[in-house]
């Protein structure tokens, strides 16, 4: 059901990236998403970074309009939708690429006590696009990679995962599809859950726009266990 919610706060967290905080909290599982509607503009899906927060990168007309929203303004949302992560493992790695950080941030914040050790491996194009928020409060180690080497290690988060794979008994990942495919291959599709990215229009499994092989990401995901994606991703 579509409902109107007030924006309580807006914070710039990196270049071209903002966090929007709703006045009301939502009951959700890390990995789930909402559909956000702006009258006259359209509707887009966003993973929840908390019970009242989304993190948005400015990439087109919709997000450009959203970036003009200020505290006290209203937006319309429906959800949360989809399947979230399931807590598995003891020494885990969170592998985030670009704007894939929100559901992994939510996982670390809400489920910190469910794991013995959490390592975040976070990749961005440049130092200016590193959007960590206060994630260091909830993880034991943060490893940054950037495409240009301007922050942390030069390279990709999957380079780190491959080198340190034996340290982790479970991996959670969200980011560009090419990165997710690499994560699945490094983990041999075992002991891994990924949050898939696909273009979504309805969010409830009706329109079929988010097809991923035999699955619909909005209905069957966005979180998938690796073994389900063998031969698909």
Q: Which residues contact 80 (CB under 8 A, 6 or more apart)?
A: 26, 27, 28, 29, 32, 33, 34, 48
Distances from the Cα of 169 to the Cα of 38, 65, 79, 212, angstroms: 42, 42, 32, 27
Single out the residue of 115, 51, 108, 50 nearest to residue 89, CA to CA: 115
Looking at residue 34, its pLDDT comes to 97
Query: What percentage of the chain exceeds 70 in pLDDT?
Result: 100
- How would DSSP label each residue in 55-71? EEE--SHHHHHHTT--T
What average pLDDT does the segment 97-125 reach?
97
Q: Is the pLDDT of residue 204 over 90?
A: no
Q: Is the pLDDT of residue 141 over 90?
A: yes
What CATH number matches the domain at 91-229, 3.40.50.300, 3.30.565.10, 3.30.1370.100, 3.40.50.80? 3.40.50.80
Q: Is the pLDDT of residue 67 over 90?
A: yes
Which CATH number is 3-81 given?
A: 2.40.30.10
Q: Is the pLDDT of residue 203 over 90?
A: no
Rounded Cα distance, 116 and 78, in Å: 34
Q: Is the pLDDT of residue 94 over 90?
A: yes
Question: What are the residue boundaries of the structural domains of the chain, listed by start?
Answer: 3-81, 91-229
């Amino acid at each position: 059901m579509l409902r109107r919610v007030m924006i309580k706060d807006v914070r710039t967290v990196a270049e071209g990236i903002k966090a929007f905080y709703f006045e009301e909290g939502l009951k959700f599982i890390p990995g789930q998403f909402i559909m956000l509607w702006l009258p006259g503009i359209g509707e887009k899906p966003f993973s929840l970074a908390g019970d009242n927060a989304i993190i948005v990168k400015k990439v087109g007309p919709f997000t450009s309009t959203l970036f003009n929203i200020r505290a006290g303004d209203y937006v319309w949302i429906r959800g949360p939708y989809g399947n979230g992560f399931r807590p598995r493992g003891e020494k885990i790695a969170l592998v985030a690429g670009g704007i894939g950080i929100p559901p992994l941030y939510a996982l670390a914040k809400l489920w910190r006590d469910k794991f013995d050790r959490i390592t975040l491996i976070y990749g961005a194009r440049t130092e200016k696009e590193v959007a960590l928020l206060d994630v260091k409060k909830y993880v034991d180690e943060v490893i940054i990679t950037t495409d240009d080497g301007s922050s942390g290690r030069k390279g990709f988060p999957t380079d780190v995962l491959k080198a340190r794979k034996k340290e982790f008994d479970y991996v959670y990942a969200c980011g560009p599809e090419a990165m997710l495919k690499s994560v699945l291959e490094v983990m041999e599709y075992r002991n891994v859950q990924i949050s898939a990215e696909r273009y979504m229009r309805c969010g409830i499994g009706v329109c079929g726009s988010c097809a991923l092989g035999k699955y619909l990401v909005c209905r069957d995901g966005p979180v998938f266990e690796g073994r389900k994606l063998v031969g698909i991703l």
